[in-house]
Amino acid sequence: MACIELDLAHSYLPKPRQDSDYALLPLTMTFDDGGAYALLGPSGCGKSTMLNIMSGLLVPSQGQVRFDGRDVTRATPQQRNIAQVFQFPVIYDTMTVAENLAFPLKNRKLPEERIRQRVGQIAEMLEMSGQLNQRAAGLSADAKQKISLGRGLVREDVAAVLFDEPLTVIDPHLKWQLRRKLKQIHHELKLTLIYVTHDQVEALTFADQVVVMTRGRAVQVGTPGQLFERPQHAFVGHFIGSPGMNFLPCKAGGGQLTVAGHVLPVQRSLPDGALQLGVRPEYLALAAAGQSGALPCTVARVQDVGTYQMLTATIGPPTHAQVLKVRCTSAQQLPAVGETVWLQVLGEHTCFYQHEELLA
């Protein structure tokens, strides 16, 4: 295993002139030895570019990649000793499951007995012990991708295992099981795992540390809890959560906050000027009329989602009304559409952003 350090930028253009010319803007990042990481972000944010730079498939246009302090920027994937699992199965159809799993170990000339043990261990973890002697050709797409995962995990001496959206072809139910399985395997095998996905559920269930990316920038690296509680960037608030954080434009000045024409007292020290107030639907509580830190809103919709109710409310004039989502318990008695509801926007979980960066 290795500690992977990135200090680089990448543009696919020969002469990048502006930020938008970069697939990865200048960044420094450390992936600790033995950690489980996810690179999470929407399509085109630079996840695959970062993964391919780590694996050695791509040389960054600027800067360095270091493994345990050693410069490997121009080293091939083989020289870096990286295992990779792609979106689609990369296996030998004519071989059995056992032969496919054993292949990376045979290549490294491990003793037969050790190969047998390790193949048995990996097959058991992936619940494939009963299929070891079956030919891969006859297996389902799910089973073939499980073999690919197994081939990625089978070597103990790799610097890291990199996964590029590995569960895309997997059936939704099995996907859920495999996500949990991968987390368990990480605890048992203690490999450095780096997992690319655009699916927040996948990232949050698998990783100890999630790197959230947008437009070529890694805007926050944190535990799932940190990303939920204190998004360092408005994009993280918006992207993590279902639905994401509510944002209200506001103006701070003289110890007060003006939101949608209402003046609220603010306890925290904030710079004067235009800000964004962010509060998650889970923390936006119903309040008594006129309560300090609460705003009067109009109920636009109430949805019963089974285990909870989602209340949608609006504030401000209809031409530029702001929408707020509130997660309520299923037992709560909620006002009807069109009624006024007071929502507690200020509280310990409220975040303030300036130019999309967290201030307080």
Backbone φ and ψ for 83, nearest 5 degrees, come out as: -105, 140
Q: Which residues sit at the interface with ligand ATP, rule CB under 6 A? A: 12, 23, 41, 43-49, 198
The sheet with strand 357-358 has its strands ordered as 262-265, 256-259, 246-253, 273-279, 351-354, 357-358
Minimum CB separation from ligand ATP for residue 343, in Å? 35
Sort residue 53 into left (φ over 0), alpha (ψ -120 to 50) or beta.
alpha
Q: In the bound complex, what is the minimum distance in angstroms from residue 197's beta carbon to ligand ATP?
A: 9
- Choice between 25 and 174, CB closer to ligand ATP: 25
Task: Tell me the closest approach of the beta carbon of residue 267 to ligand ATP, in angstroms.
Answer: 39
Q: 95: how many CB neighbours lie within 10 A of its CB?
A: 16
Q: Which is nearer to ligand ATP, 47 or 155 (CB)?
A: 47
Residue closer to ligand ATP (CB basis): 29 or 323: 29
CA separation for the pair 297, 345 (Å, rounded): 11
Nearer to ligand ATP (CB atom), residue 46 or residue 104: 46
Q: How many CB atoms lie within 10 A of CB 63?
A: 16
Q: Which is nearer to ligand ATP, 201 or 274 (CB)?
A: 201
The token duo for 25 is 């803007």
Instruction: Tell the smallest beta-carbon distance from residue 351 to ligand ATP (Å).
Output: 25
CB of 87 to ligand ATP, least distance (A): 9
Whichever of 23 and 260 has its CB closer to ligand ATP, that residue is 23
Order of strands across the sheet with 285-287?
285-287, 340-344, 294-304, 308-315, 322-329
CB of 111 to ligand ATP, least distance (A): 39
Measured between alpha carbons, how far is 32 from 159 in angstroms, rounded to an integer? 11
Q: Are 82 and 52 in contact (CB under 8 A)?
A: no
